[in-house]
C-alpha cells in the first residue's frame, strides 16, 4: 500500500500567488516520488490549484466541509462543491475545528456527507494530555465510536484515521510524541475498530500520524511506528522541507 502524506496548509498562505508558488514547489520535489500519495489541503480560496495538478501522485483535499448539501448556511461549503473542484479528500475533526465547536456528532455528519459526495474523509482524533491512569484511551475510544456512528463496513475502507495528539501540535506543543507512543495508539485504534467491524475490516483502514512532523522524525513514524502516512502542518508550506520528508520515507 502506498504511503499517504497529507499537507495541511491551515490558514496559509495569504495570497494566490504564494499558494501557487508553494504548490509548484511541492509538485517539483514530488515529481519522481513513487509509492507515496500526496494530498495538498489548502484553504478554500485556493482550491483552484486543482487545475494545476499534473503529477499522478498528487491529489487535492479540503480542510473541512459542512454536512448539509445545500441551503441557507452562510459561509459553509458542501461536499458537492468540493467534489466539483476535484477534491478527493477532506480533513474532519481536526483539533482546531473541534476547538471552534465541532462535536463528535457534527463530525459524524460530516463524514457521512463526505462519503456521499465520494470524498475520502481524514478523521483526526487526539487527546489533550496523557494521564497515568489511561483515561486518554477512553477519550480516544469515545471519539472513534461517536465519529463513526452509522458508518457501514463497506464504507470503512474509504476513511483514513489521523492520530494527532493535541499536546504535540502547534505553538503550544509541550513535546513531540515518540514512536512508541504512536505504536501504542495504532494498536489501540485497530482493536477498537476490530470490536466494531471485525479484524479484517479494521486491517483495511489506513492509520496515519500527525503532530509536529518534520524531516527528522518522518522516517521513524513510518518505518518503526508502522504509520500508513503522515499529516504534515508547518513543513508542508516549505517545499524544501516537504521534499526532505518525502525523501526520508521514499
pTM of the model: 0.97
pLDDT digits (tens, 9 = 90+) for 172-187: 788 999 999 999 999 9
* Options 70, 127, 164, 181, the catalytic residue: 164
Closest C-alpha among 230, 218, 216, 236 to residue 25: 236
Rounded to an integer, the average pLDDT of 203-230 is 96
Are 118 and 83 contacting, i.e. CB atoms less than 8 angstroms apart?
Answer: yes
* Options 94, 96, 105, 133, the catalytic residue: 94
Q: Among this protein's residues, is 164 annotated catalytic?
A: yes
Question: Would you tell me which CATH number, out of the four given (3.40.630.150, 3.20.20.70, 3.40.50.970, 3.20.20.450), belongs to the domain 3-249?
Answer: 3.20.20.70
Closest C-alpha among 46, 44, 2, 53 to residue 26: 53
Are 92 and 124 contacting, i.e. CB atoms less than 8 angstroms apart?
Answer: yes
pLDDT digits (tens, 9 = 90+) for 109-167: 999 999 999 999 999 999 999 988 889 999 999 999 999 999 999 999 999 999 999 99
Gap between the Cα atoms of 106 and 124, Å rounded: 13
Indicate the SS3 state at residue 211.
Answer: coil
Are 3 and 228 contacting, i.e. CB atoms less than 8 angstroms apart?
Answer: yes
Are 115 and 121 contacting, i.e. CB atoms less than 8 angstroms apart?
Answer: yes
Q: Among this protein's residues, is 94 annotated catalytic?
A: yes
Gap between the Cα atoms of 60 and 136, Å rounded: 32
Annotated domain spans of the chain: 3-249
Number of separate helices (H) and strands (E) present in the chain: 10, 8
Number of residues that this document lists for the chain: 250
Amino acid at each position: 500500500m502506498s504511503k499517504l502524506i497529507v499537507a495541511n496548509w491551515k490558514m496559509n498562505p495569504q495570497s494566490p500567488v504564494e499558494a501557487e508558488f508553494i504548490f509548484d514547489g511541492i509538485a517539483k520535489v514530488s515529481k519522481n516520488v513513487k509509492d507515496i500519495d500526496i494530498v495538498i489541503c489548502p484553504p478554500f480560496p485556493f482550491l483552484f490549484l486543482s487545475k494545476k495538478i499534473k503529477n499522478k501522485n498528487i491529489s487535492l483535499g479540503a480542510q473541512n466541509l459542512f454536512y448539509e448539501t445545500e441551503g441557507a448556511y452562510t459561509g459553509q461549503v458542501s461536499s458537492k462543491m468540493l467534489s466539483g473542484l476535484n477534491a478527493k479528500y477532506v480533513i474532519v475533526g481536526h483539533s482546531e475545528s473541534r476547538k471552534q465547536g465541532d462535536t463528535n456528532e457534527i463530525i459524524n455528519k460530516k463524514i457521512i456527507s463526505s462519503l456521499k459526495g465520494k470524498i475520502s474523509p481524514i478523521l483526526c482524533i487526539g487527546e489533550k494530555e496523557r494521564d497515568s491512569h489511561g483515561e486518554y484511551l477512553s477519550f480516544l475510544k469515545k471519539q472513534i465510536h461517536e465519529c463513526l456512528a452509522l458508518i457501514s463496513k463497506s464504507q470503512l475502507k474509504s476513511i483514513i484515521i489521523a492520530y494527532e495528539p493535541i499536546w504535540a501540535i502547534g505553538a503550544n506543543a509541550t513535546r513531540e510524541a515518540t514512536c512508541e507512543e504512536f505504536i501504542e495508539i495504532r494498536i489501540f485504534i485497530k482493536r477498537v475498530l476490530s470490536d466494531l467491524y471485525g479484524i479484517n475490516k479494521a486491517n483495511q483502514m489506513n492509520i496515519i500520524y500527525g503532530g509536529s512532523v518534520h524531516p527528522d522524525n518522518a522516517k521513524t513514524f513510518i518505518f518503526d511506528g508502522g504509520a500508513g502516512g503522515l499529516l504534515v502542518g508547518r513543513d508542508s508550506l516549505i517545499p524544501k522541507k516537504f521534499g526532505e520528508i518525502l525523501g526520508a520515507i521514499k
